Amino acid sequence: MSQQRNRAERGREAYNSGFDQKGMDYVKGILSGLAAIFLAEFLPGSWSIFRGMSHEKATGLAAFTGGLAESVFSPLFWALAVLFFVLFFAASRLEHKILRVFLFWIPTLMVSAFGLAIVALFTYVFIESRHRFSGQ
């Protein structure tokens, strides 16, 4: 009886560890992609955005968002996004836990949090500016 119970427990543990690992692989892939897109957008894109502001007639948020949208269509953006994704995804597969923490978890979580904060800030400013200019 105890052998059957041990076998059933081992089977459940093997199933759960496989399920958890597969789910964690998805999380690592999504986090790698999100961080790669934010890094590819903000590292070289931020300088070209400010350079483009001086040549255009748009001011403020319109010029900034126009520069962000323009950089998404750049081949440099996609090359950097793929490069960062590969680097982060490879770092997520490292066997050494400390290296994985310092080369994957810390950078991807920091970049993703910063990028999502920037997106939230622009969304808030956009919503508030619509309310103020509509007379409400």
DSSP secondary structure of 61-84: HHHHHHHHHHHHT-HHHHHHHHHH
DSSP alpha helix (H) spans, the chain: 2-42, 45-53, 61-72, 75-92, 97-100, 106-133
pTM (2 d.p.)? 0.69
Question: Does residue 81 contact residue 36 with C-beta atoms inside 8 Å?
Answer: yes
pLDDT of the residue at 125: 86
pLDDT band, very low/low/confident/very high, at 104 (cuts 50, 70, 90): very high
56: left (phi over 0), alpha (psi -120 to 50) or beta: beta
Q: Which residues lie closer than 8 Å to 77 by C-beta, 6 or more apart? A: 40, 41, 44, 45, 71
Question: Does residue 68 contact residue 62 with C-beta atoms inside 8 Å?
Answer: no
Identity of the residue numbered 116: L
Place of tokens 């520069």: 67
On the question of pLDDT at 10 being above 70, the answer is no
- What is the per-residue pLDDT across 45-82, written as a single tens digit (0 to 9) for each? 555 555 555 555 655 556 566 666 677 788 888 999 99
